[in-house]
Structure 1
Amino acid sequence: MALVSYPQHLVHPDWLHDHLQDDTVVVVDCRFSLQAPEQGRQNYEAGHIPGAHYLALNQDLSGPVAIHGGRHPLPDLEAVSKRFESLGITSDPPTYVVAYDDSRFAFASRLWWLLRYLGHDAVAVLDGGLQGWQARGYGLSTEVPQPASGRFSPRLQADWLVDIDYVRQRQGQRETLLIDSRSPARYRGEQEPIDPVAGSIPGSVNYFWQAVSDGQGQMRSQRHLQAHWASLRDADEVIVYCGSGVTACVNLLSQAIAGEPMHKLYLGGWSDWCSYLVTPPSASA
C-alpha cells in the first residue's frame, strides 16, 4: 500500500488492526505518568498492542532538565534519531508511525509533534488510545519486539518552535494569539500541582487541551474542531504552550485535524516562564 493512502494525523483502531503486519508501519506505546514516571513502562510490559515498541516521555522524548528551558526540553537530536532508528523508523521511504497512550493523546501527541518537527510527516495517533483498541475487542501482548534497524534523517522545521524571548516580544500584540493549553484552574492561578508558581503568561487565552476529545479519549469531529478553533482565523500568528510542551501538542494535533497549519509551540511553557520568576537570569548565571 502506498504511503499516501495512509490516514493523516488520526488512525482508527480497526485500521491499525488490519495493518499491524505491514512492514512500513511502526507502532509506539507512549503511556506515561507525570506522578509515577516508571508506570508507563510497567503498564507496557504488562500488556500492549502487539508489536508495539515503547518510548518514555522523560527518557526518550525529552532532554536533560536545566534551571531554565522547562520540565521537558527537546531530546538530543543525535540520540533521539538513533532511538527512532532502533524502532525501525526510516525517513526514505518513510515509515508510517502510529503512536498511542491512555491519556487522551497527552503523550502520543508529543511523539506526533516531535517526529513532524524533525521532518517525518508519516505519523498519526490512535483515536481512543489503548482504551479504544480494547473496546473494539482487540487483544494485548506482553512480547517485547526486538530492536530494529532504520535510517532516520532529521530535517528540522525550525520555525515551528519558539523560546521565551520570542514570546516576550510577541505577547500583547494584537496580531498574535497566545494559547495556554492547561486546565482553567491552572490558567487562572487557582491551583498549581507541578510548577513552583501559579498563574499564566499575561495576554494568553485558555483553550484546555482536554476539550478537543471526549471522555472516552476519542478526538472530536473535524467540524467540531473547526468551530472550536474558529478564533485562530483572526490571528496572523498563533503560539501554543502548556506546562512543558506536552499537552500543548494535543491542541496542535487537533488544529491540524481541523485543517490548520502547524502553529508555533513554546516548548518551555509555563515551567520555563515561571522559572525566570523564581530564578532570574542574573541569579542563575
Structure 2
Amino acid sequence: MSSNLVTLQWLADHLNDADVKILDCRFALGQPHSGREVYLQDHIPGAFYCDLEQDLSSKVETHGGRHPLPNLDELAAKLGGIGIDATTTVVAYDDQGGAMASRLWWLLRYLGHEQTFVLDGTYSHWKSAGLPSTSELPTAEPKTFTPSIQDAHVLHIDDLKKRLGNPGVTLIDAREERRYLGLEEPIDPVAGHIPSAVNHFWKDSLTDAGTWKPADAQRARFADVHADDEIIVYCGSGVTATPNILALREAGFQNVKLYAGSWSDWVSYPENPIATKKGE
C-alpha cells in the first residue's frame, strides 16, 4: 500500500487477519480517562487501547512540551506485549479526526515500523457504516518489537533554532489560525507562533464529512511549500502536528519532520522570540 491510510472496507475485510493489529487511540484532551472509558464500552473487534498520555507520551517536565515523546523502550515493550513485531500491519483509529491515531502512526514510523496506517474515517464513521463493534477485550500472544529509530523524523529545540530562517526550510504551524496569530491561547501560557512559521490548520486535512482529503487536495493545501524543502511541523504539544505530517506524506513530500516539543516547549524558554503576524 503506497498510502498511509486504509479504508473502512479494507479493515473490515482484514479484521481476522493474524498479522493485522488494530489500535484504538481515542482520547479527549482535558478528559484523560474518557478514551479508555469509551473503548471499554465498545470498539472495533480485536482492537487494543493506546492512551495518548499513558502510552504515547512521557511525563511532563519543565521543558519538552505538554506531550513529550514516550520512553521508546517502554513503548516497544507495550507494542510487543500486544503482539506486534516486524511482520505486523498496524492500523490506528480514533474519534478525533485522526489526530491521536496520527500520533501513533508517526511514533511507529519513527520506530522504523513502516507497515503502520491510519483508518480513513473515525470510529463514528465505522459504526455509522454498520460495521461490527464489541466490548470484548482482545488477547494477544506477545512478540518482540525491535525499534529501528529513524532520527531524521524528529527535531528538538536546538535543532530547530539552527534552522530558523534558513533558505530551504519551511516551518509549519498546525494550530488553528487564531492561536497562530496570538489572538487567543486556551492552553499554553503565551500566545503567538514561532517566527517564520506558516499556518496550515491540521483539520484542513479533512473533508466536511471528516474523512481524509485525497492526495491531490492535500497537494493543493500545501501549494506554498516547496517539495525540496526540509519541512518542519509543530502544533501545541506534538500531537495535532502529526496529521499534517501524514497529509504532507500523502501529498508526496518526503523530507518532513516533527518538532516534538512544539509550541508548549518553545514558550517554556522565556528568551525565545514570539511572532503574532502572518509573515513574521
Question: TM-score under structure 2 normalisation?
Answer: 0.94
SS of 1:277 mapped into structure 2:
coil
Please state how far the C-alpha of 1:232 moved relative to its aligned partner.
2.3
Aligned AA (1:44)? Y
Are the counterparts in 2 of residues 63 and 75 from structure 1 also a CA contact under 8 Å?
Answer: yes
Counterpart pick for 2:209 among 192, 204, 216:
216
Alignment of 1:121-160 (within 5 A): 121-160=114-153
Please state how far the C-alpha of 1:139 moved relative to its aligned partner.
2.5
Moved over 4 A (4+): none
Residue 58 of structure 1 corresponds to which residue in structure 2?
53
1:82 partnered with 2:77 = yes
Unaligned runs of 5+ in 2: 273-280
Q: 1:19 to 1:234 in 2, by over 3 A?
A: closer
Are the counterparts in 1 of residues 26 and 94 from structure 2 also a CA contact under 8 Å?
Answer: yes
Please state how far the C-alpha of 1:34 moved relative to its aligned partner.
0.9
Q: 1:216 to 1:148 in 2, by over 3 A?
A: farther
1:37 partnered with 2:32 = yes
Alignment of 1:56-205 (within 5 A): 56-91=51-86, 94-205=87-198
Unaligned runs of 5+ in 1: 1-5, 280-285
SS of 1:40 mapped into structure 2:
helix
Rounded Cα–Cα distance in structure 2 between residues aligned with 1:77 and 1:177: 28
Aligned AA (1:253)? L
Aligned AA (2:116)? V
Please state how far the C-alpha of 1:236 moved relative to its aligned partner.
2.5
Please state how far the C-alpha of 1:262 moved relative to its aligned partner.
4.6
Residue deviations 1:2-24 (CA, integer Å, cap 9, x gap): xxxx5631011111011000011
Question: TM-score under structure 1 normalisation?
Answer: 0.92
1:242 partnered with 2:230 = no
Are the counterparts in 2 of residues 180 and 187 from structure 1 also a CA contact under 8 Å?
Answer: yes
Rounded Cα–Cα distance in structure 2 between residues aligned with 1:235 and 1:220: 23
Please state how far the C-alpha of 1:253 moved relative to its aligned partner.
0.5
Residue 47 of structure 1 corresponds to which residue in structure 2?
42
Please state how far the C-alpha of 1:260 moved relative to its aligned partner.
1.6
1:28 partnered with 2:23 = yes
Rounded Cα–Cα distance in structure 2 between residues aligned with 1:241 and 1:7: 25
Counterpart pick for 1:254 among 247, 272, 276:
247
Please state how far the C-alpha of 1:235 moved relative to its aligned partner.
5.2
Rounded Cα–Cα distance in structure 1 between residues aligned with 2:164 and 2:265: 15
Are the counterparts in 2 of residues 177 and 235 from structure 1 also a CA contact under 8 Å?
Answer: no
Equivalenced residues, count: 272
